[in-house]
Amino acid sequence: MEPEKTSSDNQRDPASPAPVQSPVLTLLDRAIIRVGHTLSLLFFVSCLIIIFEIVARYVFNSPTFWVHETTTLLCALLFAYGGVHCMANNKHIRIGLIYDTVSAKVRRYLDILISTLLLIYALILAYAAGLVAYEALYTPWGAFRMETSGSAWDPPFPAIIKSFLFLVLALMVVQTALHLVHHIRRKVDA
């Protein structure tokens, strides 16, 4: 049998860390997490490609010309996506020493401040990434031409990476705006 709980059991010890809010705030966060779990399989694919290169090079003395650029593309796309995935899971960097010791009301204000600053930062980054992506996709006179790597294989991976980075940052702007609205509307228990 469990001992009967008293009203003092429901009070939080001030020395203990504050309870962490639910990491998933919006439907967008859920979608980002779901897509992230699927995309994470590309790390496994990248490892298989590297193993293929090692076997081809050292066992069959037949090195490939496409493995380095392909694995770089896959990993770059995944690292870029990692930012929105961390935000969706509420695993971004936070100074826990301060955040965990303040009241729920102060945490709410900190969340609003952090989301506002991040929104400004993400807007600036998305704008800059948009300019870079446009240059990677179009010639100075406006014709569509994807920037290529310049290697013997010459795939359009730089244009793909720059475009994907812009899309991820635009997604981060929307995600941060939704988080900001959530923090503003959030009720604080007194």
Tell whether 127 is covered by a domain.
yes
Tell whether 10 is covered by a domain.
no
Q: How many domains does the chain have?
A: 1
Supply the pLDDT for residue 100: 85
Residues 86, 92, 93: CA angle, nearest 5 degrees: 155
Tell whether 132 is covered by a domain.
yes
Report how far residue 169's alpha carbon sits from residue 180's, in angstroms, rounded to the nearest whole number. Answer: 16
pTM above 0.85, yes or no: no
Give 11's pLDDT tier (boundaries 50, 70, 90).
low
What are the distances in angstroms from CA 87 to CA 23, 107, 120, 137? 9, 17, 15, 28
Tell whether 58 is covered by a domain.
yes
Tell whether 42 is covered by a domain.
yes
Residue 169 structural domain: 23-185
Tell whether 9 is covered by a domain.
no
What pLDDT, in 10s, does the model give residues 86-128?
Answer: 999 888 777 778 888 999 899 999 999 999 999 999 999 999 9
Mean of the per-residue pLDDT values for the chain?
Answer: 88
Tell whether 55 is covered by a domain.
yes
Tell whether 15 is covered by a domain.
no
CA atoms in the 13 A half-sphere facing the CB of 106: 7
What pLDDT, in 10s, does the model give residues 147-157?
Answer: 999 999 999 99
Can you tell me which residue has the tokens 């860390």? 17
The answer to whether 172 and 126 have CB atoms below 8 angstroms apart is: yes
Q: What is the dihedral of CA 114, 120, 126, 132, to 10 degrees?
A: -120
